[in-house]
A and B are shown apart, each in its own frame.
Chain A
Amino acid sequence: MLTLMIFLPLLGFVINGTLGKFLPKAISGWLGTAAVFGSFVIALMSFMDLTGDTTMPERIYTKLFTFLHVGNFHVDFAFQFDRLSAVMTLIITGIGTLIHMYSIAYMHEDDGFYKFFAYLNLFIFNMLVLVLGSNYLMLFFGWEGVGLCSYLLIGFWYKNVDFGKAARKAFIMNRIGDLGLLMGLFLIYDTYGTFEYQDVFKLVFAGSAESNAVNTAIALLLFIGAMGKSAQIPLYTWLPDAMAGPTPVSALIHAATMVTAGIYLVIRSEAIYALSPIAREVVMWIGLATSIMAALIGLKQNDIKKVLAYSTVSQLGLMFIALGCGAYTAALFHVITHAFFKALLFLGSGSVIHGMHHEQDIRQMGGLRKKMPITYLTFLIGTLAITGFPFLSGFFSKDEILMSAFAHNPLVFGLALVSAGITGFYMFRMFFVTFHGTYRNTHHAYDKVHESPLLMTLPLLVLAVLSVVGGAVNLPHYLGESISGGLHHLLSYDGGGQFSPILMYPEHAIELSHTAEIGLLVMAVSVFVIAFLYTRNKYVTQGAVPESDEAQAGMGKVLANKFYVDEAYDTAFVSPIEAAGDVVGNYVDDKGVKGFVDGFGSGSNFISRLLSKIQNGNIEYYLVYMVIGVALLLAFNLF
């Protein structure tokens, strides 16, 4: 069953990839969707098996074959479905199904329709391999696979050169992170002699304190990989550029699933991180810096998708803050809720773009709530969720992160709160400018604005519902002991002592007094209210419109230009390498190597022309040559 769950999307990829050109669009699209939906159903059933009434096993393990066996080195191609990967799988396949459905309508006019679904299915397959692998090598297999699919899907409209560049940028930056990941994997094998999760973590758990230096090194190297995949400083600049891909791609890959692979990696390696406080501090501070920086940049972006991209980076920073504070459950909780409302927001923006006939600049929009009511409603719910409107899903998950941050270090809490506040600012700014106020484009275009078809609005509605009730997964315990902490219980379950739980180290029990908790809650809610009121005043009551690109000044200009980070990277890394490549290409290769190889040809030509002069047709010369030849032969035989 496990195998079927993983390989169903691969089957979809193969069918769509080979036959998709000849299938009608409806069949191709629904085939892809059905493949992912099938995986979702199997995942649900397997989850029931894990958490059912009678025996609750630790995991479902399937070994397909021996992947590598060289001397002492042994790695299996095996999958395990335990509680952590169950959660991730449900998210991936569930939201994946919704997005597949959405894409049937969104990509309807595209010629590469079947290709799109093939790539999407391939992506789901690789992501499943990533989260369901039973050893680090399978994780790496899926890691690279999703990187490839990201490249294919970002550059899906390949005829545009800029999109291709964005795809390459994403792939290369990922690769830089992968170097760190690979070194971490090598170090893991070198220290513990195996890649299997169970064996590694057992050894880590039993390890002595002297191995802490090694664990720190491993943890930091793995985090470098996570930095690349989950877009943290300094490897985050690919994510905003990745918005060049179609919107469903942005929703699936760059909001809900692929970018959370880094988080998954850290949660999975919890045993290693638990032994290395230094690594955790690094993770936390980088997450914090990323969160604030991305939020600031998002304040001044005018492309609907770019705002959401920076929002994703910022929220991922929040998740890493949680990981750094040791609150793994909170991080996973935020992964789940973020998947819900970010996917919702991206799909909503896709609906807006579709309705506006591919206009993406929010300065050209306005007053869309009358023309696109369902999109307006769901987008509102998504915005409220991400900014922390009380009792929506985002509220619970963000609060848990903030509280664990406070328990760890109040300064971190303060800065995280600032980041959350800025989130409110830029989200509401975007929301009000897009949907409220007066329409700013031409009247002719306004008449053409329409609500999106059912296949697009249905996923929006489902995700909206999930964004509202998603918090039930892990309610805080001030709401009652019996219904709270669902996720926490899941991750800490140890089958009555029969096996080790996902989280082997007792988490920081959030030992805050009730007053502290309520106080923090109030601070969070008040930040939300301030943001809401300020933006509503500015953009709705006063009807302000964000400035054009030329009118930016001062700090606004710096933010609008993304702190000039891309330009800095270009000068520091890209240009020197391109110059070096230029030199090697034009001089070493063109003149050196080519001249050498050509030299063989022209040399042979030259020598043969010389030698051909011997054959002048004159018999006398020939006779002399003959005699000389005979003489030489005889002389040879003599000596």
Chain B
Amino acid sequence: MSILNIFSQVEISHYIYLSTVLFCIGLFGVLFRRNAIILLMCIELMLNAVNLLFTAFSSYMVDSDGQIFVFFIMVVAAAEAAVGLAILVLVYRNTRSTDVSFLDQLKG
């Protein structure tokens, strides 16, 4: 029951700020890190930030659709992580490194 008091004390805006900060930290990581694996992890972080926001809205708006959508996001994230890592292993086999800056053959 005490958990439900959260709503009277924490407004939705705080969750929005938190989620946005997490998202931007993840974004910073995506732009800054060169290791492909860390890159994928930061993308997972961004997805989680979005999940948090969805859940917060779902609770505040008393609508379960938000949580269903989080469920599906997790599904997609899992599939994407699997395939992404498979590709990464293949790239490592060919280039002997996980540095993304080596993959620049498609230039204009």
**A interface with B by C-beta (< 8 Å):** 612-620, 623-624, 627
Contacts and interface: CB of A to CB of B under 8 A. Distances in A.
Nearest to B101: A618
Nearest to B33: A620
B30 interface: yes
14 contacts: A613-B108, A614-B108, A616-B108, A617-B103, A617-B108, A619-B100, A619-B103, A620-B34, A620-B100, A620-B101, A623-B30, A623-B31, A624-B31, A627-B31
B41 to A, nearest CB: 15
Interface in B91-105: 100-101, 103-105
Contacts of A617: 103-108
B89 interface: no
A612 B108 CA distance: 6
Nearest to B28: A627
A613 B108 CA distance: 7
Interface of B: 27, 30-31, 34, 100-101, 103-108
A57 to B, nearest CB: 86
Nearest to B36: A619
A619 B107 contact: no
Nearest to B103: A619
A616 B108 CA distance: 6
B49 to A, nearest CB: 15
Contacts of B34: 620
Contacts of B27: 627
A615 B103 contact: no
B103 A620 contact: no
Contacts of B31: 620, 623-624, 627
Given A619-B101, A620-B31, 18 more contacts: A612-B108, A615-B106, A615-B107, A616-B104, A616-B107, A616-B108, A617-B104, A617-B105, A617-B108, A618-B101, A618-B104, A619-B103, A619-B104, A620-B34, A620-B100, A623-B30, A624-B31, A627-B27
A619 B108 CA distance: 13
A489 B105 CA distance: 102
Contacts of A613: 108
B100 A615 contact: no
A368 to B, nearest CB: 85
Contacts of A627: 27, 31
B12 to A, nearest CB: 19
A312 B56 CA distance: 109
- Which 7 A-B residue pairs are closest in the complex by CB-CB distance? A615-B108, A617-B104, A617-B107, A612-B108, A619-B100, A617-B106, A618-B104
A150 to B, nearest CB: 63
A246 B30 CA distance: 89
Pick from A616, A617, A619 the residue with the most CB of B within 10 Å. Answer: A619
A624 B103 CA distance: 16
A627 B105 CA distance: 22
Contacts of A618: 101, 104
Pick from B27, B103, B108 the residue with the most CB of A within 10 Å. Answer: B108
A609 to B, nearest CB: 10
Contacts of B104: 616-619
A612 B107 CA distance: 9
A624 B27 CA distance: 10
A614 B31 CA distance: 17
Pick from A613, A614, A627 the residue with the most CB of B within 10 Å. Answer: A627
Pick from A613, A620, A623, A627 the residue with the most CB of B within 10 Å. Answer: A620
Nearest to A630: B27
A624 B31 CA distance: 7
Contacts of B101: 618-620
A617 B103 CA distance: 7
B53 to A, nearest CB: 15
A229 B108 CA distance: 68
Contacts of A612: 108
A147 B34 CA distance: 83
Nearest to A616: B107
Contacts of A623: 30-31
A120 B57 CA distance: 95
A373 B27 CA distance: 113
Contacts of A619: 100-101, 103-104
A624 B107 CA distance: 16
A617 B101 CA distance: 9
B92 to A, nearest CB: 16
A623 B33 CA distance: 12
A612 B105 CA distance: 15
B65 to A, nearest CB: 24
A616 B101 CA distance: 11
Nearest to A612: B108
Contacts of B107: 615-617
Contacts of A620: 31, 34, 100-101
Contacts of A624: 31
A608 to B, nearest CB: 10
A614 to B, nearest CB: 7
A613 to B, nearest CB: 8
A613 B104 CA distance: 13
A517 to B, nearest CB: 101
Nearest to A613: B108
A618 B103 CA distance: 7
A620 B35 CA distance: 11
A622 B17 CA distance: 27
A458 to B, nearest CB: 84
A387 B85 CA distance: 115
Contacts of B100: 619-620
